[in-house]
Structure 1
Amino acid sequence: MADTLPTDEPPATLRRIGHVALITLNRPQVMNAVNAAMSVAVEAAVDEFAADPELRVGVLTGAGRAFSAGADLKEVAAGRPLITREQRERGFGGFLKRRLDKPVIAAVNGYAFGGGTELMLACDLAVMSDSAELGLPEVTRGIIAAGGGLLRLARRVPLAIALEATLTGAPITAESALHWGLVNRVVPQEKVLDEALALANVIAANAPLAVQASKRVIHQMLALGSDWEPAAWELSDAEAVTVMKTADAKEGPRAFAEKRKPSWEGR
């Protein structure tokens, strides 16, 4: 979709809320459909989040009534790219191929089809509006969900459910998404962002290096396939040794013994 109204607003923004980075897709006039300008803006916001040690958790949401309508199909029809040449290694939206150690929560405040669902799948956790829907309808347009949808959906839900969703292109309701563990919370639309930020703050209150190491082990373990593989234990043991050498690993037990909240240094 192309912009129907002129706007001076940036197509994506980053707002700092304590230790949380709130990244907002900001083309509400076209339901946050992704064009090249948005891809560049999201990439910049994600890079700023990743580089700042004071920002421990990210929350990705959409402005207005949609999370994201996915690819801007009017841009596609006009032959205009949705990412710049420099972003090919980062993928659609400047984010989908970006490996992040820090956790990211999707606050799915509304409609999220196609690339919108793929943006959600690129996040670690998700809070979804009870009136929102997800879906990968690409086959109904003669294309495939090449922005990670086909790669990630079957890791989050049973194979038969992933196949039905991708081969039919049918919508996934909030109720079904919660039932199959595709999202962590379903709440009324007006509470989505507050719930996502509350979850982010719970995570951000923990030792940041330990949180990042935990995320790495879980994701890399999925690639190894079995917790009986020696490589899996080598991975877990190596991360544990590294974390135990940090100042935060000393601060946690000390704070517990002194009956106070820990003061994390992130080192």
Structure 2
Amino acid sequence: MNEVRTERVGSALLITIDRPEARNAVNAAVATQLSAALDELEATPELRVGVLTGAGGSFSAGMDLKAALKGESPVVGDRGLGGLTEAELSKPLIAAVEGFALGGGFELALGCDLVVAAEDARFGLPEVKRGLIAAAGGVVRLPRRIPHHLAMEILLTGEPIDGRRAGTLGIANRVVPNGEAAAVALQLAEQIAQNAPLALAAVKAVVRSQDPWAAQRTESTRLMRTADVREGMTAFAERRAPQWTGR
């Protein structure tokens, strides 16, 4: 049974967690299939950006606790929850969030590079209410994304915020009417896909590096040797759109 669907939309891969009856909670099958979808994104040159969303008006309620009690793991190797939260993807990934993004669902969104949120989406890390912590990246990433005291309120109270609040805090790049998150995320994906794929990957490599200055020098030097840089400069001089080859 396919619990994660993929669809190619222009230069983007739309990845949909399809367990609406469980609010798209992540069990072993979802984790394995989501990891495979991310592999498809990485391995396909024609695909430049991924968009992750959920079916049935909900993004993801996080780890499937019932499945976990049966011994299922929502973690894939060293790639973290859903094969995403600790994965080092070279291509940009956008979360399109409708409805619930709770616990691991919020952490999946935090594992993406950009977030488009519906106005009434619900973001929360309620793990402390169950004696746990948000250990799939929540306690690591959230305090790096928003002011410390605001992150700590979300982490320590376990109370959710809506999409509007997420936009105000800077968790979401775009806040859109309910039902439009995926469409807007795909529009944003196409805007990103117009840029040089090697440059996009280089941006991600520098941002996640433990030594960003050294990584910046390395990536910039490498890019200057590529055909895409020459194409970008030539296209600018000739006043035309560049034709990227990823070389």
- With the length of structure 2 as denominator, give the TM-score of the two structures: 0.96
Give 2:201's aligned amino acid.
Q
Structure 1, gaps ≥5 residues long: 1-7, 225-231
Give 1:251's aligned amino acid.
E
Structure 2 counterpart of 1:228: none
Residue 239 in structure 1 maps to residue 214 in structure 2: no
Q: Secondary structure at the match of 1:93?
A: coil
- Work out whether residues 139 and 169 of structure 1, in 8 Å CA contact, stay in contact via their aligned partners in 2: yes
The structural deviation recorded for 1:39 is 0.6
The structure having more radius of gyration, on CA atoms, is 1
Aligned partner of 2:21 among 15, 29, 50: 29
Q: Aligned partners of 1:254 and 1:260: how far apart in 2?
A: 9
After superposition, give the CA deviation of every residue in 1:81-105 in whole Å (9 maximum; x if it has no partner).
2337xx2312111221111111100
Higher mean C-alpha deviation, range 59-68 or range 210-219: 210-219
Q: Aligned partners of 2:180 and 2:6: how far apart in 1?
A: 20
The structural deviation recorded for 1:80 is 2.1
What percentage of aligned pairs have identical amino acids? 50
After superposition, give the CA deviation of every residue in 1:211-249 in whole Å (9 maximum; x if it has no partner).
1111221222xx44xxxxxxx433212211111111110
Q: Aligned partners of 2:198 and 2:88: how far apart in 1?
A: 16
Tell me which stretches of 4 or more aligned residues in structure 1 moved more than 4 Å.
none
Q: Secondary structure at the match of 1:195?
A: helix
Residue 71 in structure 1 maps to residue 71 in structure 2: no
Q: What is the Cα-based RMSD across aligned positions, in Å?
A: 1.3
- Work out whether residues 98 and 118 of structure 2, in 8 Å CA contact, stay in contact via their aligned partners in 1: yes
Give 2:19's aligned amino acid.
R
Structure 2, gaps ≥5 residues long: none
Give 2:89's aligned amino acid.
L
Residue 82 in structure 1 maps to residue 76 in structure 2: no
Give 2:195's aligned amino acid.
N
Structure 2 counterpart of 1:5: none
Q: Aligned partners of 1:241 and 1:19: how far apart in 2?
A: 27
The structural deviation recorded for 1:190 is 2.0
Matches within 5 A, 1:1-267: 8=1, 10-76=2-68, 78-83=69-74, 87-220=76-209, 223-224=210-211, 232-267=212-247
Paired residues, number: 247
Q: Aligned partners of 2:213 and 2:108: how far apart in 1?
A: 31
- Work out whether residues 72 and 82 of structure 1, in 8 Å CA contact, stay in contact via their aligned partners in 2: no
Q: Secondary structure at the match of 1:67?
A: coil
Q: Secondary structure at the match of 2:105?
A: helix
- Work out whether residues 21 and 59 of structure 1, in 8 Å CA contact, stay in contact via their aligned partners in 2: yes
